Amino acid sequence: MNPVHHLSGSAPGGTNDDLLSKDFEKSGTNESSWTFRELDVDPGPRAANPRDASTNSSDLEKQSQENPRAHIFLTRPMTTLHEIAFFMIVATANFTPLSGFHQTLCILHIIGDDLGVTNPGQLVWLMSGYGLTVGTFILPAGRLGDVYGYKRVFVLGNLWFAAFSLLAGLATYAGSGRGYAVFLVSRIMQGVGPALLIPNAVALLGVTYVPGPRKAMLFALFGAVAPASAVISPAVTSLFAMVWWPSAFWALALVLVVVALAAVHIVPDVPPSPEKTAAQQQQQPQESGFRRFCAELDVLGAVTGVTGLVLISVAWNQGVVDGGWHSAYTYVLLILGILLCASFACVERRARKPLIPLQALRNPGVAFVLAAVSCGWGCFGIYIYYVWEFYEVARGASPLLATAWHSPILVSGVAAAVTTGLAIHRVGPAAVMALALLAFTAGTALIATAPVDQTYWAQTFLCNVVVTWGMDLSFPAATLVLSDLVAPEHQGIAASLVTTVVNYSGALALGVAGTVEIRVNNGGATPEDVLRGYRGAWYVAIALGALGLAISLVFAWRFSRWQRAAAAA
């Protein structure tokens, strides 16, 4: 439960299921009427009449009469044991990235003390750096999976994540002088692993299962893994830290290596579609291998976009450290980042296979949705960091006790995920988005005004319960709204964009909040000053949440007008 890709029945990069679920709800047809337009498999010759496309799914139903499991998997049938193992491996992509976030957050001050770091700005970097790379590399990582195979990139993501988790634990041997730098670089590079894992894990689920109730349930279970990780990971890490904190990172590295090895043997390979193979064969004699590589991956777009986002976030987060806003280089980084992002927009207009097709974003509603999501998850990114600071610094809780205080999010998260799945098609995703922003804002306001000596069961408990609903309402609502707003050929961008915004906005907002904290806490000389800094950061979060709520209310009103106009037409 953090800025790092929380899922609730929908998933980043996994827009096959989002779109298919939407079409299913609208059409009211049964499973036999599904077409294979969204899946990376060959449906056979296109029928002249769109209704005739249903015969392909009918063939699957006929096969299922002979083999009761043939209709479940598009690549090959699996035994029940194989299916369970497959899902458990893929579902780790919604568990281990959150482990990487929470295992540092819950013992942040233990790590800082061991590495000789007490500056709040430097500690913030250890969290925002991880979210920064997760958010900026999601889109390129999804494209890598499309080109080189989802399974291959999934395995690579686990091994990458494991390597830098191992290095993070070794930072303690670098000494107090260099240990922080080693750990910070490890944290930043760790984030690339989850970026590789998440979209490709979801894609594996999306292309493996035939649309239907079973697939919908598995996506819901995939989402429910997130709140479990948000409680289990800090609890286990706290136990390891009672012995030696690096062992928590080495344990995570071991788990990731085991997952990678298991994936090699258990996760099926997704065969390329005949249409893609034919297109590649036609393209091959016309272009060199390097030019084809650059076009397929949109290398220029990835470089300008990722670098621009990284520089902007670095500028904001570096501004917290040692008076960075008084240094010219901070402003240089910020300006360069903005210029590179502008260059990215120009590159995407001309790219043959852009990471973000700009024509998909022409609908003004897209900007409303992304702005609301950015405000909401920026609010949450600030909340989650400072609530742990409040637990452990202001209230003096141990990491294990703080985990226990945080544990209501597990029950609340599962309840919110189930409720969202049941209600979103009844009240509409636009209304759900507004409720999500209200939950983000109200929950943060509860903790921002909680006295230090107040009982946990008052505002702190309620805050954890309420904020969780913001997370579990906002992601599927935003994904479904974008799926409604963009054209059919651009559906694949919807959840990927939402996931990128979710992760990046949390990291960026944390840098802004850290700047405010430093400005108002008078150097943190007294407990009262420390608390003043935390509340200053939370007030930034409340402002972001309130802005997002206003945006979502305006959007809900306009979206309802668009729907009425479309119905009248």
pLDDT at residue 286, as a whole number: 54
pLDDT at residue 222, as a whole number: 81
pLDDT digits (tens, 9 = 90+) for 371-409: 999 999 999 999 999 999 999 999 999 999 999 999 998
Q: Which residue has the higher pLDDT, 227 or 421?
A: 227
pLDDT digits (tens, 9 = 90+) for 36-49: 233 333 333 333 34
Can you tell me the distance from the alpha carbon of 436 to that of 474, in angstroms, rounded to the nearest whole number? Answer: 5
Q: Is the pLDDT of residue 412 over 80?
A: yes
Q: The pTM is what?
A: 0.79
Query: Distance from CA of residue 322 to its chain's centroid?
Result: 30
| Percentage above 70 pLDDT, the chain | 75
The set of residues, in sequence order, having a beta carbon less than 8 Å from that of 483 and lying 6+ positions away, is: 15, 18, 19, 22, 491, 494
Q: Is the pLDDT of residue 149 over 90?
A: no
pLDDT at residue 499, as a whole number: 80
How many CB atoms within 10 Å of residue 81? Answer: 8
Give the mean pLDDT of 191-210.
85
Please report which residue ranges of 67-119 form alpha helices under DSSP H. Answer: 80-91, 96-105, 108-115
Give the mean pLDDT of 467-487.
77
Give the mean pLDDT of 90-108.
93
Is residue 456 within 8 Å of residue 415, measured between CB atoms?
Answer: no
pLDDT at residue 442, as a whole number: 96
Can you tell me the distance from the alpha carbon of 241 to that of 251, in angstroms, rounded to the nearest whole number? Answer: 12
Is residue 478 within 8 Å of residue 346, measured between CB atoms?
Answer: no
The string of DSSP codes covering 389-446 is HIIIIIS---HHHHHHHHTHHHHHHHHHHHHHHHHHHHH-HHHHHHHHHHHHHHHHHH
Q: Which residue has the higher pLDDT, 196 or 218?
A: 196
| Percentage above 90 pLDDT, the chain | 37
Can you tell me the distance from the alpha carbon of 194 to that of 154, in angstroms, rounded to the nearest whole number? Answer: 9
Query: Distance from CA of residue 352 to its chain's centroid?
Result: 27
Give the mean pLDDT of 464-469.
92
Q: Which residue has the higher pLDDT, 325 or 305?
A: 305
Q: How far is CA 551 from CA 367, 438, 545, in A?
A: 10, 11, 10
pLDDT at residue 364, as a whole number: 72
pLDDT at residue 289, as a whole number: 67
Superfamily the domain 15-27+74-273+286-298+352-568 falls into: MFS general substrate transporter like domains (1.20.1250.20)
Q: How far is CA 455 from CA 395, 396, 400, 459, 461, in A?
A: 11, 14, 18, 8, 9
Q: Is the pLDDT of residue 187 over 90?
A: yes
- Mapped onto helix, strand or coil, the DSSP state of residue 237 is helix
**Beta-bridge partner residues of 209:** 73
- Provide φ and ψ at 184, rounded to 5°: -65, -45
pLDDT at residue 171, as a whole number: 92
| CA-based end-to-end distance of the chain | 42
Give the mean pLDDT of 483-508.
72
Q: Which residues of 290-305 are buried (b: 16+ CB within 10 A; e: fewer)?
A: eeeebebbbbbbbebb
Picking from 471, 488, 481, the residue whose alpha carbon sits closest to that of residue 365 is 481
pLDDT at residue 49, as a whole number: 40
Give the mean pLDDT of 269-286.
54
pLDDT digits (tens, 9 = 90+) for 427-453: 777 888 899 999 999 999 999 999 999
Q: Is the pLDDT of residue 16 over 60?
A: no
Residues in the chain: 569
Can you tell me the distance from the alpha carbon of 355 to that of 350, in angstroms, rounded to the nearest whole number? Answer: 11
pLDDT at residue 6, as a whole number: 44
Interior angle at CA 562, CA 556 and CA 563, nearest 5: 90
* Minimum mean pLDDT range among 16-20, 79-83, 373-377, 507-511: 16-20
Q: What average pLDDT is seen over the chain?
A: 79
pLDDT digits (tens, 9 = 90+) for 205-257: 877 776 666 776 777 778 778 888 989 999 999 999 999 999 999 999 999 99
Is residue 90 within 8 Å of residue 158, measured between CB atoms?
Answer: no
Sign of CA dihedral 161, 163, 166, 172: negative
Give the mean pLDDT of 401-419.
87
Q: Is the pLDDT of residue 20 over 70?
A: no
* The amino acid at 121: G
Confidence of residue 123 (pLDDT cuts 50, 70, 90): confident
Domain residue spans of the chain = 15-27+74-273+286-298+352-568, 299-351
Q: Which residue has the higher pLDDT, 265 or 19?
A: 265
